[in-house]
A and B are shown apart, each in its own frame.
Chain A
Amino acid sequence: MGVPARERFEQVYRRCRARVVGYVHLMTRDLETAAEIAQETFLRAHEERSLWEDPSSRPEAWLFRVAGNLARNHLRARGRRLPLPEPGATPDTLDLVLRRDDRSRVVAGLDRLAPSYAQVLLMRYYAGLSCAAIADELGVAPGTVMARLHRARRLLRRYVQ
């Protein structure tokens, strides 16, 4: 990696590391897992020379796609999304904890969304990527991303209420 590419990597790393960790944390609900997946994402990004040497590349969108896929693989392997309740806690107790405030309810609502909806929702409104960047990265049309966002927001609103 040449010096300009290395500098670009470092700039993107500084700018995005918190959002990548936060993004994976929202998906996995576990900080240690989020940190590990974010590390793996940045290591892979570092090896992907074209991201840093090609001025037209969009490293941020790449980071969130890869981090999201790693998080989804992790969740699939683990077979569950929410942390297990404490011993003795009833589902009602867990529900009460999740409903403590609106943001917790939003997070709980995310769990009920299909992964493809949760992914575009977080890429757009948490990571702050444009619809065009998300579409490019996921290999779908911008209209498809807009449709998924619309559907995801409707479902999330329903789940949160």
Chain B
Amino acid sequence: MTSPCPSGAVLLGLVDGDLGPDEAAAVEAHLASCPSCRDLARGFRADRPAFPEPELPPGFWASFDARLRARLPRRSSLLRRMWEVRVAVPVPALVAAAAALILLGAVGARSRPVGVPGAPVDRVVASDVDAAHIWISDLM
């Protein structure tokens, strides 16, 4: 006695490879003894929809890529470099290095005569410390 005919959706699932192994085996067994379901399955195989691709103008993908790149959130070059360093260097080592940098900056600032106007070294040290803070906040 043959099993009841599966639904069209299940037959299509078999043809498309969307059934689990047990269900697929059961439907295959049914097909072996049911010519009308075999015909239906054959029709599904022959009738698989095919859709046209769009005709693209020359340079389409270069322009598409460039537009997307310009719209993606951008990091500053400093942060981007740090992002890459983050992978290569362990975080504790970077934290220690930044702390040392801050300490050196503080010692250096204290060792210079106070009240010398416009000393360029102060500005350099201050900007390094700021950069270290940015680095650390990005790493945390």
A residues near B (Cβ < 8 Å) are: 2-3, 13, 17-18, 21-22, 25-26, 31, 34-35, 38-39, 42-43, 46-47, 103-104, 106-107, 110, 121-122, 124-126, 130-132, 142-143, 145-147, 149-151, 153-154, 156-157
B residues near A (Cβ < 8 Å) are: 7-10, 12-13, 16, 18, 44, 47-54, 56, 60-61, 64, 67-68, 71-73, 83-84, 87
Q: Which of B47, B50, B73 contacts A103 (CB 8 A)?
A: B50
Complex CA gap A47/B68 in Å reads 13
Q: Min CB distance, A111 to chain B, in Å?
A: 13
Known A22-B54, A34-B54, A125-B49: A146·B67 in contact at CB below 8 Å: no
Residues of A within 8 A of B16 (CB): 124, 131, 149
Q: Which of A42, A110, A125, A157 contacts B68 (CB 8 A)?
A: A42
The SS class assigned to the A binding surface is helix
Q: B13–A156 contact, CB under 8 A? A: no
Q: B52–A125 contact, CB under 8 A? A: no
Q: A104–B52 contact, CB under 8 A? A: yes
Chain A residue at smallest Cβ distance from B11: A150
Extra 10 A-B pairs, beta carbons < 8 Å, given A22-B54, A35-B60, A107-B52: A17-B64, A18-B61, A34-B54, A42-B68, A47-B73, A103-B51, A106-B51, A106-B52, A147-B9, A150-B12
Complex CA gap A17/B60 in Å reads 12
Chain B residue at smallest Cβ distance from A46: B72
Residues of A within 8 A of B48 (CB): 125
Q: Which of B10, B13, B50, B83 contacts A106 (CB 8 A)?
A: B50
